[in-house]
C-alpha cells in the first residue's frame, strides 16, 4: 500500500480481500454487490464492477481487542474496486449512522486513506431541509471526519486504481437508509468527465445548497496528529477516540463543525 496504517495487514486487490499478519485479527470481508446499491445511483440500470467494494469490520492488533471492546470502539477497512459505475466513479450508496444503544446518539466516523484517492461526500441531513453539502478530497495518509447525523458516501476518485481506507467507528454501529432511498441517493451525484475529472450533478429530488469542495485537513480540535496512522494514535492515547464512541461529550465542537 502507499501508506502504512500501523497494522500488519495486506490487500489482495484482485480478490478484494484483506490478509492479516500473525498479531492482527480481522474477519472475512463482506462484499457489496452492484445490485445492492443501484437505488442510490444516478442511473440505477447502469453497468460496472460486480463488487464495487468489500468491507472488513473489526480489525486490529490482538493485544488491543479487550480494550477496544471495553471502549465500544471498532476499526474497519474497505477496498474499493477500480473502474466506473456507468458515468459515476465507484462509490458506496450512502447512509446515516443510526443512534447507537451504547451512547444514545448517532456517531461520527474517522476515515484514513491507505491507498489511492478518495472523496467523502457528506450533507447535514438526508431529509428535505438540508443546509450543507461538502465533498472532501483525500489521498493516502490523509484523514477525514464525518460528524454524527450527517448522510455520507465514499468515492474512489481514480477509476484506474483501487482505493483502500481504514476507519474508526462505534462497535454497535448501525445504518439508516430510508431517507437516502426515498430521495434516490444523496443531494449530488459524482460524474466522471472525459479526463476523469469529477463534476457534481444535483439530485433533483432535493433543493440542495451549493456544494463546498475541500481538501482534507488536520483535525486539531480532536487532538489528531498529521501523518501518524490513526491506529498508532489510538495506541499512544487510548482515550483519543472517545469522541467517536461518546460524541455528546464534545457536542460544542459538533455545533460548529465543518469537515
Residues 91-125 pLDDT 10s: 999 999 999 999 999 999 999 999 999 999 999 99
Nearest to 121 by CA among 33, 182, 29, 185: 185
Buried b (16+ CB within 10 A) or exposed e, 197-211: ebebeebeebebeee
- 77-83-86-87 Cα dihedral, nearest 10 degrees: 90
Contacts of 199 (CB under 8 A, 6+ apart): 190, 191, 193
Contacts of 32 (CB under 8 A, 6+ apart): 51, 52, 53, 54, 55, 92
Q: Does residue 87 lie in a domain region? A: yes
Q: Does residue 112 lie in a domain region? A: yes
Total tally of structural domains belonging to the chain = 1
- CA gap 78, 22 in Å, rounded: 20
Sign of torsion over alpha carbons 88, 92, 93, 96: negative
Q: Does residue 59 lie in a domain region? A: yes
Q: Does residue 201 lie in a domain region? A: yes
Residues 117-146 pLDDT 10s: 999 999 999 999 999 999 999 999 999 999
Can you give the pTM of this predicted structure?
0.96
How much of the chain is in helix, strand and coil states, percent to nearest 5? 15, 35, 45
Q: Does residue 209 lie in a domain region? A: yes
Q: Does residue 2 lie in a domain region? A: no
Nearest to 94 by CA among 42, 157, 141: 42
The residue range of the domain holding 53 is 9-255
Q: Does residue 1 lie in a domain region? A: no
Residue 143 sits in a domain whose CATH number is 2.60.120.10
Residues 46-96 pLDDT 10s: 999 999 999 999 999 999 999 999 999 999 999 999 999 999 999 999 999
Name 233's bridge partners: none
Residues 161-184 pLDDT 10s: 999 999 999 999 999 999 999 999
Q: Does residue 239 lie in a domain region? A: yes
Amino acid at each position: 500500500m502507499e501508506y502504512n496504517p500501523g497494522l500488519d495487514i495486506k490487500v489482495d486487490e484482485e480478490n478484494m480481500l484483506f490478509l492479516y499478519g500473525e498479531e492482527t485479527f480481522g474477519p472475512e470481508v463482506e462484499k457489496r454487490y452492484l445490485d445492492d446499491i443501484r437505488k442510490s445511483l444516478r442511473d440505477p440500470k447502469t453497468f460496472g464492477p460486480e463488487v464495487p467494494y468489500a468491507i472488513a469490520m473489526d480489525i486490529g492488533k490482538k493485544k488491543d481487542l479487550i480494550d477496544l471492546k471495553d471502549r465500544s470502539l471498532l476499526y474497519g477497512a474497505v477496498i474499493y474496486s477500480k473502474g466506473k459505475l456507468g458515468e459515476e466513479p465507484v462509490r458506496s450508496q450512502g447512509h446515516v449512522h443510526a443512534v447507537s444503544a451504547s451512547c444514545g446518539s448517532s456517531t461520527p466516523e474517522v476515515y484514513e486513506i491507505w491507498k489511492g484517492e478518495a472523496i467523502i461526500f457528506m450533507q447535514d441531513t438526508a431529509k428535505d431541509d438540508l443546509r450543507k453539502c461538502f465533498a472532501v478530497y483525500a489521498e493516502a495518509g490523509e484523514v477525514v471526519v464525518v460528524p454524527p447525523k450527517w448522510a455520507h458516501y465514499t468515492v474512489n476518485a481514480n477509476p484506474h486504481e483501487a482505493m483502500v481506507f481504514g476507519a474508526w467507528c462505534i462497535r454497535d454501529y448501525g445504518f439508516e437508509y430510508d431517507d437516502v432511498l426515498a430521495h434516490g441517493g444523496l443531494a449530488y451525484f459524482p460524474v466522471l468527465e472525459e479526463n476523469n475529472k469529477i463534476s457534481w450533478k444535483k439530485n433533483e429530488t432535493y433543493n440542495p445548497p451549493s456544494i463546498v469542495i475541500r481538501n482534507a485537513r488536520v483535525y486539531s480540535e480532536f487532538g489528531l496528529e498529521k501523518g501518524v496512522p490513526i491506529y498508532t494514535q489510538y495506541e499512544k492515547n487510548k482515550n483519543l477516540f472517545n469522541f467517536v464512541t461518546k460524541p455528546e461529550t464534545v457536542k460544542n465542537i459538533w455545533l460548529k463543525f465543518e469537515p
